[in-house]
Structure 1
Amino acid sequence: MTVNLNQQHADKQLSHPKYRPDIDGLRAIAVLSVVIFHAFPTWVKGGFVGVDIFFVISGFLISTIIFENLSKDSFSFFEFYSRRVKRIYPVLLVVLSVCFLFGWFALLADEFKILGKHLAAGAGFVSNLVLWSESGYFDNAADTKPLLHLWSLGVEEQFYIIWPLLAWFAWKKKFNFLWVSFSILLVSFLLNIVQVHSNATATFYSPQTRFWELLIGSSLAYVKLFKSDLLDNLPPNAKNLSSVIGLTLIGLAVTTITKESAFPGWWALMPTVGTALIIAAGMGAWVNQKVLSNKILVWVGLISFPLYLWHWPLLSFEHILISELPTPKVRIIAILAAFVLAWLSYQFVEKPLRFRKDKKVTIILFSLMIAVGLVGYVTYLKDGLKSREVANLQVVNQGDVGHDEFREYYQAHFKLCTPLAIRKEALPWKDTVRCFQSKEGQIDTVIIGDSHAEHLFLGLAEELKNKNVGYYIKSGLPIISNKEFSAIFNEVANNQKITTVIMSSYWSQRLKEVPTDSSFKNELQKTINMLNKHNKNIYILDDTPNFSFSPKNCKFSGSYLRWHTCEDEATFFGKQKARYIHTLDDIEKVNLNVKILRTTQLFCDENFCYMAKNGELLYRDPNHLSINGSRFVAKNIILSNSNLSQ
């Protein structure tokens, strides 16, 4: 037999494994785990392992087809890939097209640009490689990537391209399929173990650290086909035990693995081995027959692929349009809509095309996927097609709305901070050192804290023209017991030129960093005492409000698809402020040289807090001031505290 890519074997019909409803039941468990995790991540913290269940199932079914047909001299590359195209492309094309059309009317230019990039990656089945270069699967930005979930499809398709060729080569060279499968499995698994701690993102997305999961299925396929007596002759109790252990492992994986776990790593053995044990148990096992083969799970399993494709774009677009996590009710509606769309896609898109024997269908589907990919790529190259109406909707003066613009202004208008020892320890932003001062020479006024101190600097530096203002920041609570701030407080205390210290921090979030054997009040007072010994004038900012939505919601409106808001109920920030403001008040009462700089009233009245004032946007994200915002706050601080400028 000569297996090739030409028409020689195009007419051969590949034999397929006998249908097993329990495997559809497994698919149902996999997809439901993922869907629930994405909608309600606190319910099933390890629900993302559903993808690993899919990997084992795919490896088992695909390898069964490949091994069986190679052994029967009936394998055709054309037929194999044609079936893959007709199985995967129809619904995927619909989902990609709908996402693009919805994005056209709903997304801002930067959002649409990213969608175009991911559209092209999804059409080319390289989403995992593109996402690998961007960020992690569990970071905050992931929620605003409607095609994030296609990373797993990329891994599978890359396996489908490489594995049939390797299997064919092994068959030609008369290598044992099991030996080849297990050898590559072992290498892939070891790479996963070695790299998961040093490069977690790469290990999560990389095909070479994921293929072992599919190869577990491949190894099982070999045993099922060529060593079936090993499994068939097992007593019923052993098969029942295998399926029970398998289901237990999956259950433990879903409930105990979290996004903080070093995953995949060793943790991925739980869902993958669990899946393999269930498949190996066979249809006769009680769990397979009574639990996994019930009609409801089988139905969900049948629509699992379109359900997987639809659910995440719906949840992600909700998040983008609201600029915050949607309410549980809205998320439930999205999931119900995903089920409806999945069933419609299965009935009217997947089924009619999947089993069509016309070769033209394969060619048309392949051509359409190329076209969709090109559309996405052009959208990316054209920066999100800014000529679209929604890309230019503005309701307030935008000022700067991004972190890059904010820090570029610092670089252009201020000097790098002194002394050099402090600058060397400064936090970075890309290639920028986040430590500046308003003029050359010794500073006399210093702002200490985290990024909430940094965003205050710009306005104060411009308002206090007769002062040399600088800022020293770390990502932590600015107290002397925090080792991160040791060098900073030592420099400030011993530098007689520094007469004024302004402390500012994201207090509500930093309270958790207080030592367990102390209190926020005690730690802050110790810090004040140290500064008092060196005759510093001390000011503490009460912190500007943080909001539940993105500035984009405030900046853009006018489209019925953008759910516009520019205000929050005052209780949103008020509840957080109540956790620390009484401590700041008490510190002010007992320390004559401590003054609280109160800024909340600049943004909030009794009922609402406002992100924009006088038609001007004041924030660049939900809790950081923009250039406009920094100037607005600083101007009002100086008006209320004239001694700061003296």
Structure 2
Amino acid sequence: MKFRKDINGLRAIAVIAVVFFHFNESWMPGGFAGVDVFFVISGFLMTGIIFKGIENDNFSVLNFYISRANRIFPALAFLCLILLVFGWFYITPLDYKALGKHVASSMTFLSNVVYWKESGYFDAVSHGKWLLHTWSLSAEWQFYIIYPLVLVSMRKFMSVKVMKATVLFGTILGFVFCVIATYKWPNPAYYLLPTRAWELMVGGVAYLYPIVLKKERKKILELFGLLLIVGSYFLISKDNPWPGYLAFFPVLGSFFIIQSQRDDSFFTGNIVSQKIGMWSYSIYLWHWPLVVVIYYFSLSDKFIYVGVFLSLFIGFLSNKYVEGVKLKSSFSSFSSYLKCKPVYILLGVSVCGSGVFFTNGFEYHYSDAVVVASNESINRNPYRCMNDHKFPCYIGNEKNIKAIIVGDSHADALTTAVAHSVDLKKEGVIALTMSSCPFVLNLMSTKNGDKCYKENARRIEYLESNYDSVPVILVSRMGAYLYGQSNPQRVKDISDIQPSVYFTKPYTKVEDLLYDELKFNLSLTVDKLLINHPVYIVQPTPEMRKNVPATLARNLLLDNGDYDLSIDYGLYIQRNERLRNLINEVSIKKNIVVLDPAPYLCHNDRCLAQIKGRPIYYDGDHMSEYGNKLLTPMFKLVTEKNIN
């Protein structure tokens, strides 16, 4: 196809937005929509190549695949190899193993499926995934594989005109499906092709139905398109469901810019836009690993600016010396396709990544101390009560239940500590746990909302009808409701929260309203439980505010001398003073027992993060299976009825 300066400049507008968002989302809160702009561009170019070939009766699906592979594989493979070498020296075993899996899935263009199964795109844990951004390349490649096959098949029984109309109709249906799926299945909707295909097909529609305009009207159309795209970058944020109906705006903006066909545009035709557009693929590839470097090694904010500069510079080098390598894209016979170099690049790098994965990150090349620290992050509840959505989750002898633990992921982390307080051959315990759902009736989780509300209704109904007189142990990270996940104030303005009808006094401080709301609903929960059960409430466990296994393993690997991750006991009390007071108030008023983990986890004015080099947490605030055993004596006070 003829080189389009406007499309090349549009690439620059897309990649700069993505780079700015990833390095500092406050710069451009909706910058992730740059990926949607890329999708439209790809759809336009691919549709043009395929339809021209079909109309000229010389389209080859294999040659199409090879030309795409020549364009995409070398730079991606080079990045993956560099990361594998880097990881050998600087990445901890489990993270290196994960990198191996992600390299293999990225090279085989399945990474969007892998990341969908692992976590949400905007989740904090995703910042440690070195190839997270390749999800979009995988989605594109899946489109490249399917799209030409569908079009070639369609051509066998319909005219080109009908094919064009079918693409248009399919685009509309795809958008409708995307809107519905984003609300019903938000995580898969973000990553997977079925909800993204319409964006690529919009680009196809731009090729199939070009708009002919006068020069002045082209300028207006381009400006309107730019406003839609740039407006999306600043008015949309990761808090909005995505892609959904909001993706229509940057996609439509891209459509308008392509339709305006302005090669002399000030916005897309200038030298800066042209250079960045030319380097955009390599910039996109390299910028995210640089973001992860800053996150992974806890570098200061000033490295953000270094990272942006390096993204551009390495993107330039990669474009010139890696993307610039010319590879053969057409072959005379089927057997000659065996000489296709991208196939061997794919296989070679995929095998390297798979080798790293299946050897647990070549675990043998690390010191024992690093391996022990790293592996604690997967030393979690073996009964998988929460992960497998078991309700109820029985542990031990189901016919002789001695205790029921109820709560969120913090309860799940302490489940085996309760289980080990009984003889599991003769006795048993039950866990009713769900992530991000503290067991406090009528308390809406900021993350799970209605889902949590319904789960608590199910739990209280179960407890009211089963196992009378069996102790119920409440474990929940209620501090997340009071303070937020990392203890900044959860709600910024008093007008942002709707207090319960039970509160009529005026509130001027958000924290006071939240405190009263939590205390009231916790008291209500305890009242309902006390009808049939003894009730015990566990005070909050100390939180380290950093991933203990990953940080300790990394510090040991880099030999930086920072091996004690414990915190001052006074700091733990300071962070949790209001919550501890609230729990004590409720316990005194309702005459129930409070279990305090601090005496078991804190010694000599320090709350421990590890014991003899082994972490007692599997992240920053959940007890690992090694650590939660420290609390078994506390739970024995309940199961052996040594406390009243």
With normalisation by structure 2, the TM-score equals 0.78
Match of 1:179 among 154, 157, 165: 165
Match of 1:120 among 94, 104, 107: 104
* Correspondence list, 1:192-203, <5 A: 192-203=178-189
C-alpha contact 1:553 1:566 (8 A) present in aligned 2: no
Cα distance in 1, alignment partners of residues 561 and 310 from structure 2: 19
Match of 2:71 in 1: 87
Cα distance in 2, alignment partners of residues 383 and 494 from structure 1: 46
Q: CA deviation at 1:276?
A: 0.8
Q: CA deviation at 1:246?
A: 1.1
C-alpha contact 2:92 2:374 (8 A) present in aligned 1: no
Q: CA deviation at 1:48?
A: 1.9
C-alpha spacing 1:456/1:83, structure 2 compared with 1 (3 Å):
closer
Cα distance in 2, alignment partners of residues 81 and 346 from structure 1: 21
C-alpha spacing 1:215/1:41, structure 2 compared with 1 (3 Å):
same
**3-state SS of 2:542 partner:** coil
Match of 1:9 in 2: none
C-alpha contact 1:399 1:628 (8 A) present in aligned 2: no
The question of 1:622 aligning with 2:617 is answered: no
**3-state SS of 2:134 partner:** helix
C-alpha contact 2:327 2:341 (8 A) present in aligned 1: no
C-alpha spacing 1:460/1:299, structure 2 compared with 1 (3 Å):
same
Q: CA deviation at 1:502?
A: 4.1
Cα distance in 2, alignment partners of residues 333 and 561 from structure 1: 25
Match of 2:348 in 1: 371
C-alpha spacing 1:478/1:161, structure 2 compared with 1 (3 Å):
closer
Match of 1:582 in 2: 581
Cα distance in 2, alignment partners of residues 373 and 502 from structure 1: 48
* CA-to-aligned-CA distance 1:253-281 (integer Å, 9 cap, x gap): 22344445443332221111110101212
Cα distance in 2, alignment partners of residues 78 and 442 from structure 1: 65
The question of 1:301 aligning with 2:277 is answered: yes
Match of 1:245 among 221, 224, 233: 224
* Correspondence list, 1:65-464, <5 A: 65-68=49-52, 80-164=64-148, 174-176=159-161, 178-224=164-210, 230-232=211-213, 234=214, 236=216, 238-283=217-262, 289-320=265-296, 327-353=300-326, 363-389=340-366, 392-394=368-370, 401-402=377-378, 405-408=380-383, 428-430=386-388, 432-433=390-391, 435-436=393-394, 441=399, 443=401, 446-463=404-421
Q: CA deviation at 1:28?
A: 1.5
C-alpha spacing 1:42/1:160, structure 2 compared with 1 (3 Å):
same
Q: CA deviation at 1:310?
A: 0.8
**3-state SS of 1:220 partner:** helix
C-alpha spacing 1:429/1:499, structure 2 compared with 1 (3 Å):
closer
Q: CA deviation at 1:31?
A: 1.1
C-alpha contact 1:92 1:309 (8 A) present in aligned 2: yes
The question of 1:477 aligning with 2:438 is answered: yes
Letter in 2 for 1:99: L
C-alpha spacing 1:17/1:435, structure 2 compared with 1 (3 Å):
same
Deviates more, 1:530-539 or 1:343-352: 530-539
Cα distance in 1, alignment partners of residues 191 and 405 from structure 2: 41
Cα distance in 1, alignment partners of residues 159 and 533 from structure 2: 85
Cα distance in 1, alignment partners of residues 69 and 123 from structure 2: 32
Deviates more, 1:350-359 or 1:32-41: 350-359
Q: CA deviation at 1:245?
A: 1.9
Deviates more, 1:367-376 or 1:572-581: 572-581
C-alpha contact 2:37 2:250 (8 A) present in aligned 1: yes
Cα distance in 1, alignment partners of residues 639 and 164 from structure 2: 78
* CA-to-aligned-CA distance 1:570-607 (integer Å, 9 cap, x gap): 4875564144233234446x548445433336545798
* CA-to-aligned-CA distance 1:366-416 (integer Å, 9 cap, x gap): 4223211222234334443333326x544868896436x5224x9xxxxxx
C-alpha contact 1:106 1:561 (8 A) present in aligned 2: no
With normalisation by structure 1, the TM-score equals 0.78
C-alpha spacing 1:165/1:633, structure 2 compared with 1 (3 Å):
closer
C-alpha spacing 1:643/1:218, structure 2 compared with 1 (3 Å):
closer
Deviates more, 1:506-515 or 1:251-260: 506-515
Match of 2:519 among 493, 518, 521: 521
Cα distance in 2, alignment partners of residues 626 and 431 from structure 1: 19
Letter in 2 for 1:369: L
Cα distance in 1, alignment partners of residues 270 and 611 from structure 2: 59
C-alpha contact 2:393 2:431 (8 A) present in aligned 1: yes
* CA-to-aligned-CA distance 1:99-143 (integer Å, 9 cap, x gap): 221223334444333322322222223333444455543445433
C-alpha contact 1:550 1:621 (8 A) present in aligned 2: yes
Unmatched tracts of structure 1, length 5 or more: 1-15, 225-229, 411-426
C-alpha contact 2:42 2:203 (8 A) present in aligned 1: yes
Cα distance in 2, alignment partners of residues 453 and 76 from structure 1: 58
**3-state SS of 1:32 partner:** helix
Q: CA deviation at 1:306?
A: 0.4
Letter in 1 for 2:347: I
C-alpha contact 1:60 1:218 (8 A) present in aligned 2: yes
Cα distance in 1, alignment partners of residues 467 and 136 from structure 2: 59
Match of 1:13 in 2: none
**3-state SS of 2:557 partner:** coil
Deviates more, 1:202-211 or 1:561-570: 561-570
Cα distance in 2, alignment partners of residues 603 and 623 from structure 1: 12
Cα distance in 2, alignment partners of residues 493 and 515 from structure 1: 29
Q: CA deviation at 1:220?
A: 1.7
Cα distance in 2, alignment partners of residues 489 and 168 from structure 1: 58
Letter in 1 for 2:438: L
C-alpha spacing 1:491/1:612, structure 2 compared with 1 (3 Å):
same
Letter in 2 for 1:406: N
Letter in 2 for 1:567: L
Cα distance in 1, alignment partners of residues 268 and 578 from structure 2: 49
Q: CA deviation at 1:223?
A: 3.6
Percent of residue pairs bearing the same amino acid type = 26
Cα distance in 1, alignment partners of residues 466 and 389 from structure 2: 28
**3-state SS of 2:103 partner:** helix
Cα distance in 2, alignment partners of residues 453 and 282 from structure 1: 59
C-alpha spacing 1:643/1:615, structure 2 compared with 1 (3 Å):
farther
Q: CA deviation at 1:51?
A: 1.1
**3-state SS of 1:623 partner:** coil
C-alpha contact 2:400 2:428 (8 A) present in aligned 1: no
Equivalent pairs, count: 597
C-alpha spacing 1:614/1:598, structure 2 compared with 1 (3 Å):
farther
Cα distance in 2, alignment partners of residues 126 and 534 from structure 1: 51
Cα distance in 2, alignment partners of residues 168 and 633 from structure 1: 65
Q: CA deviation at 1:625?
A: 1.3
* CA-to-aligned-CA distance 1:185-244 (integer Å, 9 cap, x gap): 3443344345444444444343344332222222222344xxxxx514x351x2232122
Cα distance in 1, alignment partners of residues 459 and 49 from structure 2: 65
C-alpha contact 1:53 1:272 (8 A) present in aligned 2: yes
Cα distance in 1, alignment partners of residues 169 and 192 from structure 2: 18
C-alpha spacing 1:462/1:270, structure 2 compared with 1 (3 Å):
same
C-alpha spacing 1:633/1:298, structure 2 compared with 1 (3 Å):
same
- Alpha-carbon RMSD across the aligned residues, in angstroms, is 4.3
C-alpha spacing 1:454/1:368, structure 2 compared with 1 (3 Å):
closer
Match of 2:40 in 1: 56
